[in-house]
Structures are given as structure tokens and as C-alpha cells.
């Protein structure tokens, strides 16, 4: 593995690890400081909406400058935002207003940073003459590792020090990710001059240009809708159904291990695609992945013993890792490089809002019905979304370059 790929994957993994730790530690800090679950929810909402807006705003700009620069700037913003919390705690004292303000600031580093690194991937692969499918598979496996390790590290840190102190650590992780990205040679992620000129005069160089490209392209529309359906159902299962089920069974201590099981599945799924992604047809990966995810959701939906929920989560991760890799490769092969930043930003912006919708809708179903009603509705939603995608004529075009 060349030095460029090593630093690319290391910077990506470091950024994902920091996000994973922050996702656990920050809500705990809000709860410990305010004593209000509603306050934690308000902070999450305050972060989601600006993150989506920032993603759309940065999309077209990302296609005009070096994506490496956007990734570095995003990590610096995150590092500064997370550093503010312990400083405020040491001076004037934290309250809900500060949490919301910092969440808004930090959100301007989240989606643009993720998108910039995704948009860099084709240039990195070309610079080292590596198959994009292999690099995407490695990226998905790395995401699985971060999800697997991050919560465990967060748990150890929170148990060892105050949650506000953890923010110093996550700020340092974000700064480290920026430095690692800085080491990547600029030419390995830079748009060719002809592509920059094309981007400057592109028809879709507007705030909503990425959304226009997605909804005008049948293949992209199909895979994005499948990804959003997975995000909706997975967030609802992971953040609402499973915690409520374990709480009813007086087994709340096992909730965190579900994420670890999911991450283990993602790790294996991404690894499989890294090894055989270029030899097995993409449509097969989608069909098998969607079917495996459905099996996993069925096992979770039974709401049986703890081990069965862990097994279901691992199976969902396995199928999701395969599907996510195919979706990522579809964007590499079917979106012109001059528009890739805007399109990926639009996709990630929507994906930022979807989990909250899934959690909210599921909470209503549980409140007016039962857990089994919620799991049945979520399973049916996934089956319908997967069937529509698999049967879509555009899926047959997977693997064909259209630009």
C-alpha cells in the first residue's frame, strides 16, 4: 500500500474515530450538565439541520477548489468547536445555549469533511493506480473499525475522566486528522485544470445542483433512496427499538454492544467488497446485500434473546457494508468529477436529516401501538424500498460509466 493511500485512509479513520467518540461523549456531557434528555435532543437537532445546510452550501464550492483543503478546513473547524466546550466550562460555565452554539459550529465541519474525503477517492485511486472498488471496500471496512472501536474508547474515557475532559481528546483527534490530511500530496487530490474549468461553468454549480443531478439520474436516484431507507430503518432500530426493548427486559447495559456487532458486520462486508468487488457484478452485490439486511432486520424484529439481537445487528452490518460500497462506487463511476463534490454533499446532507425522521416516526408507532408494530412497519418499509431498487431497470446499469 503506497504512502498516499496510507495517509488517506489513516486521516479518514482518525476523523471517523473522533466523530464516533464524540457521538457518545457529547450527549452524555449534555445530560450530565443539564440533567435533561430533551436538552440532548435539542443539541442533536441543532447539529443536524446546519450540517445539512453546510453540506449543500459547500457542495458546489468543493468542485472549484482542492478537496484536500476542504477536508483540512473541516477538521480544523471541528477541533476548534470541540475545544470551546472545556474552555467555556473552565471560565463562565456550560449551559444548553453553549452546547447548541458549539453543535451548530461543529456541524459546519461534519458533512463537508466527510464529503471532501469521499470526493477525493477517485483522484487518490488514480494517483496510485488502484482499483476504486478496492479503495472503497477498504474505506467501508475502516468505517466499521471506527464504529467498533469508537464507542468502546468513549466508554473507557467517560468512565475514567469527566465527559468535558473527553472533548479535549476529541478536539486533538480532529486536529490530528487535519495534519494527516495535510501530509497527502496536493497533486494526488487536485482536480485537473480542464476539470476545474469545466466545473466553473457547469450548469449544476448551484446550491441545489447536487440534488438536481441525483433526481435527474435514475441510477443515482435508486441507490440514494435505498441508502436513505437503510439509514431511516437502521437509526430507528438502533436508537429507539433496541434501547426500548432492552430497557423493558432490564438489560440496558447491552445496548452499546449492538453498535459493536453492527460495526463488525460492516467491517466484514467492506472487506469482502475490497477483495471481490471488481469480479462480482455490482447488481449481485446490491441484491445479496439488500436480502442480507432484510434477514438481519427480521432477526432483530423478533425481539428475542440478547444474542439474537446481536446476531441480527451483525447481519445487517454485513449486508449494509456490501451495499454501501456499491453505492459509493456508483457515484465514482456515474458522476462527473466536476460535479462530484456537489452531488456527494447533497447526498450526505439528506442523509444527515433522515435518521432523526426515523427515530421520531418510530417513537410515535411505539407510543400509539407497540414495539412489534414498529418493527413490522420498519421491516415492510425496508422490503418495499429494497424491492423497488432491485427491480429498477436502472440497477442494470451498475458498473457502466456514464460520463
46-65, pLDDT tens digit by residue? 777 777 777 777 766 676 77
| 379 within 8 A of 229, measured Cβ to Cβ | no
The one-character DSSP state at 177 is H
The average pLDDT across 267-293 equals: 84
Type and span of the H or E element at 18: helix 3-34
As a three-state string, the secondary structure of 35-101 is CCHHHHHHHHHHHHHHHHHHHHHHHHHHCCCCHHHHHHHHHHHHHHHHHHHHHHHHCCCCCHHHHHH
Q: What's the length of the chain?
A: 403
Judged by average pLDDT, the poorest of 174-183, 204-213, 241-250 is 204-213
Q: Which domains does the chain have, with CATH numbers?
A: 1-190 (1.20.1250.20), 205-403 (1.20.1250.20)
Cα–Cα distance, 300 to 308 (Å, whole number): 7
pLDDT at res. 315: 94
pLDDT tens figures, 185-242: 877 666 555 444 444 444 444 556 777 788 888 888 888 888 889 988 988 887 778 8
State the pLDDT confidence band at 178, using cuts at 50, 70 and 90.
very high
pLDDT at res. 93: 85
Note the helical H segments in 161-217: 163-183, 193-200, 209-216
Query: 96-127 vs 337-368: helix axis angle to the nearest 10?
Result: 140
pLDDT at res. 121: 82
Apex CA 198: angle with CA 403 and CA 208, to 5°? Answer: 80
The average pLDDT across 337-365 equals: 78
Can you say how many angstroms the Cα of residue 296 is from the centroid of all Cα atoms in its chain? 20
| 110 within 8 A of 229, measured Cβ to Cβ | no
Please name which of 306, 331, 326, 301 lies closest in space to residue 316, comparing C-alpha atoms. 301
| DSSP codes of every residue in 110-122 | HHHHHHHHHHHHH
Asked if the model's pLDDT at residue 383 lies above 70, the reply is: yes
Cα–Cα distance, 212 to 10 (Å, whole number): 33
Give residue for cell 427515530. Answer: 359
pLDDT at res. 299: 93
Asked if the model's pLDDT at residue 269 lies above 70, the reply is: yes
The average pLDDT across 365-382 equals: 87
Cα–Cα distance, 392 to 226 (Å, whole number): 11
pLDDT tens figures, 147-164: 777 777 876 787 788 778
Cα–Cα distance, 270 to 195 (Å, whole number): 30
CA torsion, ordered 190, 60, 341, 57, to nearest 10 deg: 120
Asked if the model's pLDDT at residue 312 lies above 90, the reply is: yes
Asked if the model's pLDDT at residue 246 lies above 50, the reply is: yes
Asked if the model's pLDDT at residue 66 lies above 70, the reply is: yes
Note the helical H segments in 217-336: 218-236, 242-248, 255-276, 282-301, 306-334
Amino acid at each position: 500500500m503506497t504512502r498516499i493511500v496510507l495517509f488517506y485512509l489513516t486521516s479518514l479513520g482518525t476523523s471517523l474515530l473522533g466523530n464516533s467518540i464524540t457521538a457518545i461523549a457529547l450527549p452524555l456531557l449534555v445530560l450530565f450538565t443539564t440533567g435533561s434528555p430533551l436538552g440532548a435532543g435539542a443539541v442533536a437537532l441543532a447539529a443536524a439541520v446546519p450540517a445539512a445546510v453546510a453540506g449543500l452550501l459547500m457542495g458546489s464550492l468543493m468542485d472549484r477548489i482542492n478537496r484536500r483543503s476542504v477536508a483540512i478546513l473541516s477538521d480544523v473547524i471541528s477541533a476548534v468547536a470541540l475545544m470551546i466546550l472545556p474552555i467555556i466550562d473552565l471560565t463562565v460555565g456550560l449551559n444548553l445555549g453553549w452546547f447548541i452554539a458549539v453543535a451548530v459550529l461543529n456541524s459546519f465541519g461534519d458533512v463537508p469533511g466527510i464529503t471532501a474525503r469521499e470526493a477525493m477517492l477517485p483522484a487518490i485511486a488514480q494517483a496510485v493506480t488502484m482499483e476504486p472498488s478496492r479503495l472503497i471496500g477498504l474505506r467501508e471496512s475502516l468505517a466499521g473499525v471506527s464504529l467498533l472501536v469508537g464507542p468502546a474508547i468513549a466508554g473507557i474515557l467517560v468512565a475514567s475522566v469527566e465527559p468535558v475532559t473527553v472533548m479535549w481528546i476529541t478536539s486533538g483527534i480532529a486536529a490530528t486528522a487535519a495534519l494527516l490530511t495535510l501530509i497527502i500530496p496536493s497533486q494526488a487530490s487536485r482536480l485537473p485544470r480542464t476539470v476545474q474549468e469545466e466545473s466553473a461553468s457547469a450548469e449544476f454549480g448551484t446550491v441545489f445542483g447536487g440534488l438536481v443531478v441525483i433526481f435527474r439520474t435514475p441510477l443515482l436516484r435508486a441507490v440514494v433512496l435505498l441508502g436513505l431507507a437503510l439509514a431511516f430503518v437502521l437509526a430507528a432500530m438502533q436508537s429507539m427499538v433496541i434501547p426500548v426493548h432492552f430497557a423493558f427486559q432490564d438489560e440496558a447495559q447491552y445496548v452499546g454492544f449492538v453498535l459493536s456487532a453492527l460495526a463488525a458486520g460492516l467491517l466484514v462486508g467492506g472487506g469482502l467488497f475490497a477483495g471481490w468487488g471488481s469480479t462480482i457484478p455490482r447488481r449481485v452485490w446490491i441484491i445479496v446485500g439488500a436480502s442480507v439486511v432484510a434477514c438481519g432486520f427480521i432477526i432483530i424484529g423478533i425481539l428475542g434473546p440478547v444474542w439474537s439481537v446481536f446476531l441480527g445487528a451483525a447481519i445487517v452490518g454485513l449486508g449494509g457494508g456490501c451495499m454501501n460500497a456499491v453505492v459509493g462506487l456508483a457515484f465514482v463511476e456515474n458522476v462527473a468529477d466536476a460535479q462530484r463534490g456537489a452531488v456527494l454533499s447533497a447526498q450526505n446532507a439528506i442523509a444527515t436529516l433522515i435518521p432523526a425522521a426515523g427515530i421520531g416516526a418510530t417513537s410515535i408507532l411505539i407510543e400509539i401501538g407497540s414495539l412489534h408494530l414498529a418493527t413490522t412497519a420498519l421491516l415492510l418499509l425496508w422490503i418495499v424500498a429494497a424491492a423497488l431498487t432491485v427491480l429498477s431497470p436502472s440497477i442494470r446499469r451498475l458498473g457502466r460509466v456514464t460520463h
